[in-house]
Every structure is written in structure tokens, then in C-alpha cells.
């Protein structure tokens, strides 16, 4: 049996299911996978040191999650012009000539959206949070044909920078707003791309009352999968796209980069949902 050494660098990832996803994907292909959770603060280290250790430590590839998706970008060769425009990386492959960067959050979000909404265009969308995953999702919304994007972030300068890049890349109207409740008025889609709602960051980024009139929601958080944001949306009758779907699809797409081997995607989904295995 061949072996594959993988890992995940991020904070607050103790409950990540990525190790299980890739372990199960490996079993389908007769590959023994080791997948390490690498938390810089827990290792009494910093991101740069942990990343360098992966590059030198025999890893085939690593996933990158909050809050390092933009930080890793300058360390990599990125050949895809769309991924260069996104400016954030969640999948790194270590090659003989240096590490290569990919973004499967972008393709994963588009697959998750289509799984629930099909070919229906997103319409006008409020997106709260313009960090690494937010950038990937925003460019995904362009690809899905969104007509208007309303960006809200505590760091307005970050939102403004993303807005300029989105305007240059597509035809959607893009505006930056300061108040999420005001920005939700008349929006078809509501998106959370902040860590609010994640284990350790309890709460919701948008008051339940501001959801009425929208059609669909997406939450990038998947631990837990049933965030307060999504519970409020379901109670309001909105179509729900969970962060679990993004997690699943970005993992499927990352696996292709890591191994180049095929997957029975339905079998992997069923195994993930039914397994209580701890990896």
C-alpha cells in the first residue's frame, strides 16, 4: 500500500473532519494517509516556521485554513490566473521545484451552491467577511452570475480592496457597506464568511429579523454544521447551503491535487456522514 503524508495548518481546528475525509479518500484508492493537524500557537511556533517544517518534512501537501489563507500566498507559485486574482490559498502541493498553490474553496463553493440551487443565479448577495474564504466565495459568485455583491467587513479597507478586484474581474455591481442589516435589505442571498458561529466564536453575524425576504443562505462555518445563522435562516424558510457542503467539495477537489486518483464521491459523502471514526 502506498502512503501519503498530508496536513492542515490553522487555528481552532481540533474538530476538523479533514483528516477523516482524506483518510477515507485514501482507503478508496489503497493509499495509507496520515493527515496532521498543525496549530501554530499550540506548537509554540508561528505560521512561517510550521510551513517551512512541512516543506522540509516529507509532506506531499497541506490544506490551509483560518487565519493563514492569505498569509501563505507569497510563499507559493500560483499558475492559475483566477487563483492569483483571489489572492488566497487553501491547498498547497510540495513539488521538487517548490510549493504550488491552489484554491479549492472557490470551486468547492460553486459545487455546493449548484448542489442546492442548480442553475438558478444568486441574484443580489450580501457577503459578510472578506478574508481568505470570503475572497474565494466572492469570485465564485461572479462565476455563478450574481448581479450584485454587497460586501461588509469590520476592516472596510479590506472590503474596498476586494470590491475593486471584483469589479475588474466581472460585470456584477459591487458595493461596500458598513451595516449588515441594512445591506441585507432586498438581498436574495445572505452569506457568512467570518468565523462567527464556529466553535469558540459563538454567535451569529446577522440578526434573524434581517433575513426575511431573502431566498437562500450560505455559511462557510462547518464546525458546527448547524450554526445559529443557519438555524435562523431555516426558521425563516430560506434555502440553506451549509458549510459542510463547502468542506466536502473543497476536500474532494483538494484530494485530486494531493493524489491524482479518482473518487466515488457518493460513497465518500455517505462514509463521512455515517462515520464516527476519530482521526
Active site residues: 68
For cell 448542489, the residue is 115
Helices (H), ranges, the chain: 18-28, 47-56, 81-86, 104-117, 132-144, 156-169, 180-184, 228-235, 243-259, 265-274
The tally of CA atoms less than 13 A away on the side-chain side of residue 173 is 10
Question: Are residues 135 and 155 in contact, defined by beta-carbon separation less than 8 angstroms?
Answer: no
Report cis status (omega within 30 of 0) of the bond before 224: yes
Question: Are residues 201 and 222 in contact, defined by beta-carbon separation less than 8 angstroms?
Answer: no
One-character DSSP codes across 120-145: ----EEEEE--SHHHHHHHHHHHHHT
99: closest CA among 107, 109, 108, 89? 89
d(CA 76, CA 84): 10
Those residues whose C-beta lies under 8 Å from the C-beta of residue 45, and which sit 6 or more positions away, are: none
Question: Are residues 209 and 184 in contact, defined by beta-carbon separation less than 8 angstroms?
Answer: no
The sign of the dihedral angle between the CA atoms of 62, 63, 65, 67 is positive
Amino acid at each position: 500500500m502506498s502512503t501519503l503524508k498530508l496536513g492542515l495548518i490553522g487555528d481552532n481546528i481540533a474538530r476538523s473532519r479533514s483528516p477523516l475525509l482524506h483518510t477515507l479518500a485514501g482507503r478508496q484508492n489503497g493509499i495509507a494517509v496520515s493527515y496532521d493537524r498543525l496549530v501554530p500557537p499550540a506548537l509554540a511556533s508561528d505560521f512561517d516556521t510550521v510551513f517551512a517544517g512541512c516543506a522540509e518534512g516529507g509532506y506531499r501537501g497541506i490544506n490551509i485554513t483560518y487565519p493563514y489563507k492569505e498569509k501563505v500566498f507569497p510563499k507559493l507559485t500560483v499558475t492559475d490566473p483566477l487563483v492569483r486574482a483571489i489572492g488566497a490559498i487553501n491547498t498547497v502541493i510540495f513539488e521538487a521545484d517548490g510549493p504550488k498553490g491552489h484554491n479549492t474553496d472557490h470551486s468547492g463553493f460553486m459545487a455546493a451552491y449548484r448542489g442546492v440551487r442548480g442553475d438558478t443565479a444568486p441574484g443580489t448577495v450580501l457577503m459578510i467577511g472578506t478574508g481568505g474564504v470570503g475572497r474565494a466565495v466572492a469570485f465564485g459568485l461572479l462565476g455563478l452570475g450574481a448581479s450584485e455583491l454587497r460586501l461588509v467587513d469590520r476592516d472596510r479597507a479590506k472590503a474596498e480592496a476586494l470590491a475593486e478586484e471584483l469589479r475588474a474581474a466581472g460585470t456584477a455591481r459591487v458595493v461596500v457597506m458598513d451595516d449588515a442589516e441594512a445591506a441585507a435589505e432586498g438581498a436574495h442571498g445572505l452569506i457568512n464568511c467570518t468565523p462567527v458561529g464556529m466553535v469558540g466564536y459563538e454567535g451569529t453575524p446577522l440578526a434573524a429579523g434581517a433575513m426575511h425576504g431573502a431566498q437562500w443562505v450560505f455559511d462557510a462555518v462547518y464546525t458546527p454544521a448547524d450554526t445559529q445563522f443557519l438555524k435562523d435562516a431555516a426558521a425563516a424558510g430560506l434555502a440553506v447551503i451549509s458549510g459542510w457542503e463547502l468542506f466536502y467539495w473543497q476536500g474532494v477537489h483538494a484530494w485530486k491535487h494531493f493524489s491524482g486518483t479518482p473518487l466515488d464521491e457518493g460513497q465518500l459523502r455517505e462514509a463521512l456522514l455515517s462515520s464516527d471514526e476519530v482521526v
